[in-house]
Amino acid sequence: MKKINEFRMTVEAKAVNESFCRAVCAAFAAQADPGVEEIGDIKTAVSEAVTNCIVHAYAEKGGKIYISAALLENGVLRVKVRDRGCGIADVKQAMQPLYTTKGDDRSGLGFSVMETFSDKLTVRSKVGKGTTVVIEKRLGSDGNA
Amino acid sequence: MNLQTTVSGRVLTAHLTGEIDHASAPRIREKIDDAVTEYAPTVLRLDFRGVSFMDSSGVGLVMGRYRHAKTLGCETQVANASRRYETILKMAGLTKIVRFVRDGNEVKKA
Ligand SMILES: Nc1ncnc2c1ncn2[C@@H]1O[C@H](COP(=O)(O)OP(=O)(O)OP(=O)(O)O)[C@@H](O)[C@H]1O
Ligand SMILES: [Mg+2]
């Protein structure tokens, strides 16, 4: 599918950048005339992916997060969130609802939330190399658009 | 995140505002736990009316507050959560431990 538009950015894996990252993706999506709900869906899914880079991939020690987004001809927004962190040994297990390797404040729902609020979610990961999460969302079918 | 708490009888209401994420959660957690310890309420009501964003960090926040409040014999309620926040909170099965309530309308309850 042809890209109509795209952007790329690299951002430090700091918690303070979480709201910045989701706002950038929402602002980029705005050109496709999304509804209020769709914007909320994108922000929520992006926030989960970015937070996972900070909390898990780099274990709060910092690193770089690579974000890119493309708007496709068919009205789909495709956001990629990539890190060069620790990677995930068993992606299928990690994506199970309530599965978490960080008890306390984490509930193991990030991937479930990403799945719920996107149309398609793809996760590729290699231990020691990093993880790429691809979130796809069709825009403009909200009704409020 | 600017957190205000109000006390009415033995009900402590924490008025959550702004964005709840991994960055803001620690400060919110601290403020709520401090208020619960100080006032020793029997009901802790987490009011989501002023929340403009929440991701799964909100689930950890509510679960943790439930656990802390429970050790002090206090029940936890989630009030006025939007459909989106409710969807996320209920994914964790929170309905089993926390009551979801809604105020009648914009009118403040005495
Ligand atoms: N980018 C990543 N790098 C390394 N491990 C990851 C990454 N993303 C997720 N994981 C692993 O997958 C698990 C599940 O992730 P998920 O986002 O579903 O839940 P969580 O982050 O543990 O909790 P929550 O998102 O509810 O706060 C994590 O606990 C972690 O072990
Ligand atoms: Mg997560």
Task: Give the closest residue to B46 by CA, choosing from B82, B3, B13, B7.
Answer: B13
Question: Nearest C-alpha of chain A: how many angstroms from B107?
Answer: 26
pLDDT for residue A142 is more than 70: no
Quick one: which atom of ligand 1 is closest to the CA of A133? Answer: 1
Predicted pLDDT at B110? 39
| Residue A145 is assigned to a structural domain of this protein | no
The predicted-structure confidence for B75-88, as pLDDT tens digits, reads as follows 999 999 999 999 99
**What pLDDT is attached to residue B1?**
62
Domain carrying residue A49: 3-138
For A4-13, what is each residue's pLDDT tens digit?
Answer: 999 999 999 9
Check residue A34 and give its pLDDT: 96
What's A80's domain CATH number?
A: 3.30.565.10
Active site residue A5: no
Number of neighbours of residue B34 by Cβ within 10 angstroms:
11
pLDDT of residue A103: 79
Q: What's the pTM?
A: 0.95
**Domain for residue A48, yes or no?**
yes
The reply to whether B23 touches chain A by the CB within 8 Å rule is: yes
Can you list the residues of chain B whose pLDDT is less than 70?
1-2, 104-110
Is there a contact between B56 and A113 if contact means CB atoms under 8 Å apart?
A: yes
What kind and span of H or E run contains B84? helix B83-91
Among residues A17, A84, A106, A136, the one annotated as catalytic is: A106
Residue A92 reports pLDDT greater than 70: yes
Q: In percent, how much of chain A has pLDDT > 90?
A: 93
Strand ranges across the sheet with B75-79: B4-8, B11-20, B43-54, B75-79, B99-101
- Is residue A52 pLDDT above 70, yes or no? yes
Q: How far is it, in rounded angstroms, from Cα B39 to Cα B35?
A: 6
CA B13 to chain centre: 8
A-facing residues of B in 24-53 (CB < 8 A) are 25, 29, 53
Catalytic annotation on A74? no
Number of H helices, E strands in chain B: 3, 5
Rounded average pLDDT over A54-67:
97
CA dist A85 and A89 (Å) reads: 12
ipTM, 2 decimals?
0.94
B80 three-class SS: coil
Q: What is the distance in angstroms between the Cα of B64 and the nearest Cα belonging to chain A?
A: 7
What is the structure's pLDDT at A99? 96
Per the structure, how many domains does chain A have? Answer: 1
Would A143 be classed as within a structural domain?
no
pLDDT at position A19 over 70: yes
- List the single best residue of A39, A109, A115, A133 to mutate versus B (max B Cβ within 10 A): A109
How far is ligand 1, taken at its centre, from the CA of residue A113, in Å? 11
Q: What are the structural domains, with CATH classification, of chain B? A: 2-106 (3.30.750.24)
